[in-house]
Amino acid sequence: MAAKLTRKDIAKAAGVSPSTVSRALSGSKLIPEETVAMIREVAGRMGYRPNLLAKRLAVNRSFQIGFVLPLGLNRKGPLQMSYYSTILDGMVGAAFPRGFSVGIHPYDSESEGAASSLADIVTRRDADGLVILGLTQGSPIPGALLKASIPFVLIGSCHKKAHSVNCEQSPAIREMLRTVKELSYERLIYVKGAAQYYDAALQEGSLKEALKETPFKSFHEMDGDYSRTSGYKAAERLFSEGGLLRGKRLPKTCVFLACDRMAMGFYRFCQERGIRIPDEVGVVGSDRDDAAQGLHPELSTMRQPRLEMGRSAVDMLIDLCEGSDPEPKDMMIEERFLKRGSI
Amino acid sequence: MAAKLTRKDIAKAAGVSPSTVSRALSGSKLIPEETVAMIREVAGRMGYRPNLLAKRLAVNRSFQIGFVLPLGLNRKGPLQMSYYSTILDGMVGAAFPRGFSVGIHPYDSESEGAASSLADIVTRRDADGLVILGLTQGSPIPGALLKASIPFVLIGSCHKKAHSVNCEQSPAIREMLRTVKELSYERLIYVKGAAQYYDAALQEGSLKEALKETPFKSFHEMDGDYSRTSGYKAAERLFSEGGLLRGKRLPKTCVFLACDRMAMGFYRFCQERGIRIPDEVGVVGSDRDDAAQGLHPELSTMRQPRLEMGRSAVDMLIDLCEGSDPEPKDMMIEERFLKRGSI
DNA sequence: TTGTAAGCGTTATCAA
DNA sequence: TTGATAACGCTTACAA
């Protein structure tokens, strides 16, 4: 392996000054083509690799994006939830061609302390900006970051003065309701998500709105918290003595759950009791979770545009870091309804 | 927000020299405690945040670890496979407390060109070392990297002169065979993984070895490629006219598949044909894939120590970057057999 | 125990 | 169109 080469070595070999090398290699307009070609050739032949650390210091930018995600959502790490890893995938895909890389920064809580440690990521130039996931509603973090003028983009939450990317659920939910209705379901049960999340609120709002257009004879809500257990318990309540589905002459019922994990719990209960899906009850999930792939019959659900959300967030963030696009905006990307065998 | 503060500002405010500040803040032994405390206090009060870019240049280290993973394994990105994202999770967890962060570097192919672009990641100081996943057997990449003296650790592959972390499958496979045998299965079918991977070879070796200890009346192998489709096709062949399971008086059969994805395909076929698991056929998977969580009955499988593998790889790599531990070693971490309802 | 000053390898300003 | 040269903010000999 060649010893560590710097611009100086190339300059000497090419018979020009270091700054000329620098300009040639970074495509400056000032240098004539032939000089550029010559220098390129020399650099290539010698195997010169510019030192990124030096460049970063010189321009005071890290060319990194901080991917900020909450710790402690489950026993395992957050990256094991496909929601996060898919968004990360989209981010990496968008960052790479723009010369950025993505670093991962878990955060503990949503305290003021957390806000300042997130701000530090940028202040210390570990990243040029942040993409922040999993914030609950009313979190102090966006405000604090704004005050510190840290560039950031939220995913799955929003703030009036900040950039954000969210999932537009209305059209898919409207389509889902129409489809369910056409299958002559008469009763709809909605198992809600954890109330502290913006996503959950968005979904509930979209559903209620869509119900005006496609009303059901009977509509009920049940609380849930996005966990498998809460889906299981919802089924338990529905099918237990005092529940909605007792009695002999049932109206045809469809259960819409705020996430696929809950649907998995719901399935589990049905499987244990021999309740047939969709013959005895229809089931619809919400976020096409990979973990639900193995369900049989296949779960009807929504395809969240997670890759696109990650990509858009990165694009917005880089624009933001580059000074353009200072108007805060909430970008909404549409999800799609996927009809499968569960209804 | 305070203007950008440097060591100089702190030095002035504390009435000492910049280098004293530097030493105090990085815990140098040379400085008396009270001076350290004083400087800490001043720095804290003023909200000083050391610039990482400058530090990195000064010490010529990025304090980053490159997480290198193959592109194009599926239509979506590689991070959407829980194998990769779980390992990444483990890596982030181990890197963080040691002051390192993890950057993600997809690679296209296993050509020589790919090897040199991986080497560049380190040469340009974008990372201090690499953790490389998904290499096929006989890849030119480890050799090329070794020649360029790039610090790296392999996961899921190995090379005689390189560090690597792999999964020890033998004990779990032995236990699985014993369990299956105790359940009075007489015939074992093994659906193999894609031959180009080291993991696949390891598994096949372990299985054959274990079969000596716990032999079956009948043992057959079938080819597979880790895809769901290939699991489905395996089932199709098994149950089709010419297959192993025709005839009326079947020996009790268990199918062991090289990954859970294939098991999912296998289940799908059985579900479509009304073949009951485990009554008519037992099924065992291999890697506790999240995507198989929804299977019913629950799939018996192996718990791969992915988090631990990621953690160990990072620890080895950092040690390597720090100059210690130059002896190449292949660290094997044991997986465990998980008996569930599928047998 | 502390200060001075020379790097680290770039970019960018200002003359030439 | 090029070449000196001064940042960038830190670490770390070497001196004091």
Q: pLDDT by residue (tens digit) across B211-250? A: 999 999 999 999 999 999 999 999 999 988 656 666 556 7
Residues 6+ apart with CB under 8 A from A325: A316, A319
Average pLDDT over residues B128-151: 94
Q: Do B102 and A104 touch (CB under 8 A)?
A: yes
Cβ-Cβ contacts under 8 Å, A149 against chain B:
1
CA A179 from chain center: how many Å?
A: 27
Residues in B 57-116 whose C-beta is less than 7 A from nucleic strand D are: 57-59
Instruction: Report the interhelical angle of B170-182 vs B198-213 (nearest 10°).
Output: 50
* Interface probe, candidates A57, A79, A264, chain B, greatest B C-beta count within 10 A: A79
Q: Considering only residues 28-47 of chain A, list those whose CB is below 7 Å from strand D.
A: 30-32, 35
d(CA B129, CA B131): 7
What local confidence, expressed as pLDDT, does residue B242 receive? 59
pLDDT above 60: residue B130: yes
The β-bridge partners of B254 are B188, B282
Percent of chain B whose predicted confidence (pLDDT) is above 70: 94
Report residue B157: phi and psi, to 5°.
-155, 180
Give B75's pLDDT tier (boundaries 50, 70, 90). Answer: low
For residue A105, which residues of chain B lie inside 8 Å, CB to CB?
101
Instruction: Evaluate if residue B13 carries a pLDDT over 60.
Output: yes
pLDDT at position B1 is 44
Q: What is the mean pLDDT of chain B?
A: 91
**Nucleotide with smallest C1' distance to residue A14 CA:** D2
Answer whether B206's CB lies under 8 Å from B193's CB: no
Tell me if residue B70 falls in helix, strand or coil: strand
Cis geometry, peptide bond prior to residue A328 (ω within 30 degrees of 0): no
* Peptide bond between residue B70 and the one before it cis (omega within 30 degrees of 0): no
Alpha helices for chain A (secondary structure H): 7-14, 18-25, 33-46, 52-59, 82-95, 112-123, 141-147, 170-182, 198-213, 228-239, 260-273, 306-321
| Contact A307/B at CB under 8 A | yes
How many residues comprise chain A?
343
What is the pLDDT, as a whole number, of residue A250? 74
Ranges of chain A whose pLDDT falls below 50: 1
Residue A114's pLDDT is 87
**CB within 8 Å of chain B, chain A residues 117-156:** 120, 123-126, 147-149
Among all chains, which residue has been given the structure tokens 């405010």?
A: B13
pLDDT band at B198 (very low <50, low <70, confident <90, very high): very high
Nearest of B117, B161, B114 to residue B135 by alpha carbon: B114
Q: What local confidence, expressed as pLDDT, does residue A327 receive?
A: 87
Q: State the nearest residue by CA to the C1' of C3.
A: B17
- The most confident of A6-10, B167-171, B321-325, by mean pLDDT: B167-171
Of A51, A68, A80, A124, which to mutate for an interface test with B (greatest number of B Cβ within 10 Å)? A80
Amino acid at A90: G
Closest CA to B67 of B321, B317, B331, B324: B317
Record the pTM.
0.92
User: What is the model's pLDDT at position A245?
Assistant: 64
- State the pLDDT at residue A94: 95
What's the CA A52/C1' D1 distance, rounded, in angstroms? 27
Strand partners, B168: B334
Helix extents (H) in chain B: 7-14, 18-25, 33-46, 52-59, 82-95, 112-123, 141-147, 170-182, 198-213, 228-239, 260-273, 306-321
Check pLDDT > 60 for residue B174.
Answer: yes
Please name every residue paired with B132 in a beta bridge, in sequence order, or none if there are none. B68, B154
Q: What percent of chain B clears pLDDT 90, i.e. is strictly above it?
A: 80
pLDDT, average across residues B34-38? 89
Cβ atoms of A195 and A259 within 8 Å: the answer is no
If you average pLDDT over residues B258-268, what whole number do you get?
97
Is the pLDDT score of B28 beyond 70? yes
